[in-house]
Structure 1
Amino acid sequence: MATIAPIEYFDEADFDPFVIDDDVFGEIEDPYAIFDRARANGPVQPGTILELLGAPADSIVAGIPQFRVIGHAEVQAVMRNAALFSNDVLKMNLGVTFGDTISAMNPPKHTQVRGLFQSTFMPKQVAKWSETLVDPVVNDLIGRFIGDGRAELVEQFAKRYPFEIIYRQLGLPQRDVQTFHRLAVTLTFNSDYIRYGKEASRKLGVYFQNLLEERRRNPADDLVSLLGQLGGDNGLSDETIVSFFRGLINAAGDTTYRATGCMLMALLENPEQLEAVRQDRSLVPLVLEETLRWNGPIIFTQRMVMQDTELGGVRMPAGAIVNVSMAAANNDPAVHENPRKFDLFRGTKSHFGFGLGPHMCLGQHLARLEMSRALNAILDRLPGLRFDPDMPKPTVKGGLMRTPRDIHVLFDPS
C-alpha cells in the first residue's frame, strides 16, 4: 500500500457533504400523507415524485415525459419487468457519477455482470465477515461512548459503522478513511450539487484504479484483491470493476447508515417493542424488515419505458421516464393495514426496501447482517436505552433519501 498515493479531497477544502444533507435530499417529514392524498387520483399519474413532494425538479431529465407510480401492484409490475421498464434512465444520473455501473445495466449484460459479482455477496460468504469485520467495528464504536451514559447515535454510531466495515473489507489505509467517506456519500448528489458528485467520482476512480493494480501485484485477503480477479479473461473491464466499487461504498456508507438510524428511532419511539426485542433476539429480523417497509432510506427510483404501454390505466409512450416510489408502495393501505404504525409483530415479509426483480439490491445480505449485528450489540451493551428528555426527539426527513439527523439517548453507563 505504500505505493498508493493518498486519496485527494475536494478542491474546496471546507466542503462537507454531511452539512448540506437537507439541501440535497430535502427536509420533508411526511411524504406518506402526500402519497395518501395522491392515491385518490390513481396508482399511476402524469408527473414526477419530486413535483408531488414539492421538491426542486431534476434538471438532468427536464423535457422528457414523466409518470409517477405509487400503487403497490403497479410498482411491483414495473420492477419485475426489466425488458419493458429499463434502467437506461439511470445512465443520465447515477451513471454520471458511478460510471459503468451495474445499476444502469440491462439484460443480458446486467445478468452476466451481476452473476460475476454476486458470488462475493451470498449469505455464506457474508456470514464469514460477521466476527472478523462487523463485530469488531460495532463494538469499537460503542466502546468509545459506553461509559458516558449518553450518546448521539447517528453521528457517533450509525453514520460510521457501515462505512468502517466496508473500508476494512477493501483493506484501505486509515489515513484515507475520512476523505473516502465524504467522497463516497457525494456520489448520489445531483442537480445543483452534481459538480461535487463528478469530482468525487473522478478522484475515487483514480484511487480505485491504482488500488486495483497494486492488489493484483500484491494480492491480500480483501475485496479489492478478490474482485480484481474478475477482470481480464473473466470478462469484466477495470472500468466496470471500479464503477462497482463506487456503488458499493456509496451503498455501504450511505443507505445502510440511513436505514439504521430509522430502525433505532422506531424502536426508541416504541419502548414496549424495544424491550420485547431485548428479551427475544429472534425478533431482530422482523425489526429489520418492518423498518425497511415503514421508513426505508430511498423514496423512489426511475425506469425508462421501452415501448408504448399502459400501466394502471395510464398510457405511457416509449422513452418516457417512470418514477417508481418504493416508499409509497411500502405504505399502501390496500396492502398494509395502518401502514404508518411501526409494528414489528405484523411480520413484514414483502417490501421494496431492497427493490425487486432482476435489479434487487446485490448487497442486501450484507446490509441485513450489519444492521442485525449492530442492533444486537446495542441491546447487549446499552441497558436502559431511551431518548434523552433534555434533547429534541428525532424526526425522519428527506424527499429523496431519508434518515433522522440525530438521535440523542441516555442509557445506564458501563
Structure 2
Amino acid sequence: MNDDLDQRAASLDTAHADTDLRARFELPEGVVYLDGNSLGALPVGVADAVASVIRGQWGTDLIASWNTHGWWDAPTRVGDAVGRIVGAAPGQVVVGDSTSVRLHQSLHAAAALRPDSSVVVTEADGFPTDRYVIDGVADQVGWRVVHARVDEIPGLLDDDVAAVVLSHVDYRTGELRDLPGLTAATHSVGALAVWDLCHSAGAVPVDLDTHGVDLAVGCGYKYLNGGPGAPAFGYVARRHQDTFVNVLPGWNGHAEPFDMATEYRGAPGISRARIGTPPLLSLLALEAALRAFDGIDIGDVRARSLSLTGFLRACIEALVPGAAFASPKDDAERGSQVGVHHPAAYGIVQALAVRGVVGDFRTPDIVRLGVAAPYLTHADMVTAARALRAVLLAEEQLDPAWATRHTVT
C-alpha cells in the first residue's frame, strides 16, 4: 500500500510539475506546512522588499517616499493586484485595514444602497468575526438578522432582504459555496450579495465581475501569503461606486485629501472606500508577496489544489480506514482543505506538529489540513497521511479504550 501511494504521488507530481511553485517560497526543511489557510508561507523576495522599504525608502527618502516610491497609490495599486486573483477588473479593489473593518464598511454601504429593506440573511455557523460584525451593524441600521443553513437561504429571500452575507468557503469544513447561484438568487429579489473571500482568495477562482457580486472582503495573510496581520481588501463593484456610502470617512478617501477641508467629500471610484493612513510596511509586504502569482492562472492553482486535496483524502482513506471527513468529497463542493473529525482533534494536531506536519484544530473536533497548492506536493500529502496514521496508532497504544472510538489497521 505504501509503495503504491509513493508511486501515485510521484506520477501526480510529474503531471502537475508546471504548477509547482515551491521555489517561489521560503519553507523550512522537513516540514509539511498544512496551515496556509491560517497564515501563508513566506514568498521569496518579501524579506528583501520590506528591508528595502525600511532602509531605502523610509530610512533614506523619508516622507518623499509617499510620491517617489508610490506609497500614496499603494492601496489601489495593490488592490488591482488582488483584483487579478479574484476576478475583478482594475479600479474595484482597495487594500488596507482588517477584514472586520472592511466588512463593517461594506454592510453599512449595503444598508445605504437598500434603505427600504430591513433584513440581512447569513449562514448560521459562519466565522465568528463575520457574525459579530453582522450583528453589530444590524443593531446600528435596524436590520433583523436571519441565520440559516446555506441550502435554506434561497427559500428565505424576499423583497425585504437588503443583503445576503456568506463565506465563499466554510472555514471549518472547507465546503465551497455556490457563489454564482447564490449571488443570482440574491439578485432575484433585488438584494445585495456580500461575500467573505478569506478562505478562497488565492486558492479558488472567484470571478467577482463575471458573477455580478456587489461587495466582497477578504484578508491578505492566508492563501495570498501577505504575512501575519497583512491588510485586508474590499471590493466594490463599479456600478455601486458612485453611490457607495463610506461609514468610515477618513482623509485618505476624500476627493481632495490634501486640501484639508473641514467637510468630507468622497473621492471618485474605488478610492472612496479608502479610510485612513494605511499600514505601509505590511501593505508593501503584501504587494511583494503577490508576485508569487505572477504569470499564474488561478484556474491552474485550483486544478493543482483539487488534485492535492483529492489525493490527500485518498491517502487518509487508505491509511486510516473509517476516517470521518468533515470536508466534502466532491471536487465542486470542496475548497482547498481537508478536515477530519476526531474527539481528540486538538491533541492530534499537536502530535502531528511534533512529527513535522503542521495543520490546525477547529472546534469542536476537526483536524484541519489546509492545502496551499502553489508550495505543496503530492508527496507531501503521503507524508501527512502517514503522520496522521502514526499519531493515531500511538494514541491507540496508550489508551485501550481508543479502539471503541476509532480503528486503525
Question: TM above 0.5, one fold?
Answer: no
Provide the TM-score with structure 2 as the length reference: 0.26
Greater helix fraction, Structure 1 or Structure 2: 1
Greater RCO, CA 8 A, separation 6+: 1
